[in-house]
Structure 1
Amino acid sequence: MLDNNKIKAIIFDVDGTLRDTDDEMVRSVELFLLKFEFLISSKKAQTAARNIVMRMENPAQVILHYADKWGWDKFIHQLIHGIRCLLRPFKNTKNFQTIEGIKPMIIALAERYPLAVASAGDEKTVRAFLAQAGILEYFTCVATALTCPHTKPFADPLIWAALQMGVEIENCVMVGDTTVDMMAGKNANTQTVAVLCGFGEREELEALNPNLVLRTTADLTDVLIPS
């Protein structure tokens, strides 16, 4: 159970938590597959794209974790950047999708708590999304893939964010949509809130015993600011 009285700051993941990344990725892969329309129909391309994205997420998180652990993180992030550049012609990078209800939630929470971001994404993309969503100004700090020696699920970016916000790490809550977010929170000794609007499945998230599981991130407003 979430102990509201203990919370003095909130740390958010971005992809799947604030940003509707899965739909963006599905559309990018779908457009790529449609280049081979002589092999696959548009209907099958959409289904195949969603299956590919959903199956890629957990292996990708595992790869990033061990890359970080073994000191390959810069190489891996350069490789990911190269892949994104190849996919860029198939997507509109200026039109990020925001999970419904995020902006009013962030505005309401920022009146009561300092807020931070802890993302495994690259800084340029993360800040571009936050700016387009109109919420960048509400965050005290933004930790991205290379901000700290190690990224999630290590505790480093969460501890760094707590320091920037001037609060003890145990008084923070980590909000995210994947097992990596939950592990990062556990490793940093924060409370954890799992959301089901991103890549993580309820069963795998609940296996890590988060303090709370929400249908979508925007529901956090009702939990922390009761009417």
Structure 2
Amino acid sequence: MKNLGLIFDLDGTLIDSGPDLVTAVNLTLTELGLAPLASNDVSRYLGHGPGRLIRDVMGPGHEDLAERAFPIFNRHYTEHLVEGTLVYGGVRDALEHWRRSAFMGVVTNKEQGWTDELLRQLALAAYFDPVLGHGALPEHKPAPGPLLACARRWGLPPRSCVMIGDSEVDIHAGRAAGMWTCGVTWGNRSAAQIEALAPDFVIHDPMDLIGLFDTVISVTEQA
């Protein structure tokens, strides 16, 4: 019987999609006659979904171009979706460890179609149910709705679930849902930024996920 639910963010947690997102952003900026950005300048805007990403990278003074930029970015990102994107080392081992003893789902602010295609092409789809991308539900992170939908699907109380992610959006969503929170430092935020959010767990390598949640299981069994 599974008594633990693990909810994973996608970008910066399970996969490093930065190279392809940077490519799509810079092709969009170039097509609009704007200067491309360095990878780090794009990465710091990730986590809030493509609409917010485009508005942020356009910068002040170019708000009028944002609406034109959305379909251009969508086209470029679809064309370059899995060229440089990789699964982080150790992620598959951690998923294999938990797949028989825990429910696992994905909640991301990436569009649902891109999310499904990435998980399929990277051979991760079989690990997760449900997979909730942007647009799957009326709410998206940092609102707790998608996380609570996972818990309901699994028949678990929120306190038997952990939200695992690499940004403030994930930690805030997990906290709002009444779940445990786990911040990872290999994604799009620095270790200092993650630690400042004060999640219940902080880990620095995907392999740290193996055996990490004994505290959650213990609390669940005592409830």
Q: State the TM-score, normalizing by the size of structure 2.
A: 0.75
Other-structure match for 1:21: 17
Distance 1:197 1:88 in 2: 23
Give me the whole-angstrom Cα distance separating, in 2, the residues matched to 1:124 and 1:63. Answer: 18
Q: Could you tell me which residue of structure 1 aligns to residue 80 of structure 2? A: 92
- State the AA in 1 paired with 2:21: M
- Give the Cα separation in 1 of the matches to 2:51 and 2:114: 21
Q: What SS does structure 2 have at the residue aligned with 1:115?
A: strand
Displacement of 1:83 in angstroms is 3.9
Cα distance in structure 1, aligned partners of 2:212 and 2:149 = 25
Asked if 1:133 corresponds to 2:129, the answer is no
Question: In 2, distance between residues paired with 1:173 and 1:143?
Answer: 16
Distance (Å, rounded) in 2 between the aligned partners of 1:31 and 1:80 = 10
Verify the 8 A CA contact 2:28 2:73 in the aligned structure 1. Answer: no
C-alpha distance in 2, partners of 1:153/1:13?
A: 12
CA distance 1:88–1:144, shift in 2 (3 Å): closer
For residues 7-18 of structure 1, what are the structure 2 equivalents within 5 Å? 8-18=4-14
> In the alignment, is the contact (CA less than 8 A) between 1:196 and 1:213 conserved in 2?
yes
Structure 2 match to 1:188: 177
What's the secondary structure of 1:148's corresponding residue? coil
Q: Kindly indicate whether residue 146 of structure 2 is the aligned counterpart of residue 150 of structure 1.
A: no
- Identity among equivalent pairs (%): 27
SS of the aligned residue for 1:56 comes to coil
Q: Which structure is higher in strand share?
A: 2
Indicate if the aligned counterparts of 1:140 and 1:165 stay in contact, CA closer than 8 A.
Answer: no
Match of 1:73 in 2: none
Equivalent position SS for 1:193: strand
Structure with the largest fraction of helix: 1
Map 1:1-227; keep pairs closer than 5 Å. Answer: 8-29=4-25, 48-57=37-46, 63=52, 82-88=71-77, 92-95=80-83, 96-224=85-213
Instruction: Note the C-alpha offset of 1:63.
Output: 4.3
The residue type paired with residue 199 of structure 2 is P
Greater shift, 178-187 or 203-212, is seen at 203-212
Pairwise CA distance, 1:164: 1.1
1:62: Cα distance to partner? 10
Deviations, residues 100-126 of structure 1 (Å, cap 9, x unaligned): 122222122111101011111111111
- CA distance change for structure 1 residues 128 and 58 in 2, over 3 Å: closer, same or farther? closer
Please give the per-residue CA displacement for 1:21-72, whole angstroms capped at 9, x wherever unaligned: 223323445667899xxxx9xxxx7xx42132134337879948xxxxxxxx
**RMSD of equivalent CA atoms:** 3.2
List gaps (5 residues or longer) in structure 2.
Answer: 54-66, 215-223
Q: Which runs of 5+ in 1 are unaligned?
A: 1-6, 65-77
**Structure-1 separation of matches of 2:19 and 2:140:** 24
For residues 83 and 33 of structure 1, what CA distance do their matches in structure 2 show? Answer: 9
1:199 alignment partner, SS class: coil
TM superposition score normalised by structure 1: 0.74
Instruction: Output the CA distance in 2 between the equivalents of 1:80 and 1:144.
Output: 21
1:120 partner SS? strand
Specify the SS of the correspondent of 2:210: helix
Residue identity in the other structure for 1:177: D
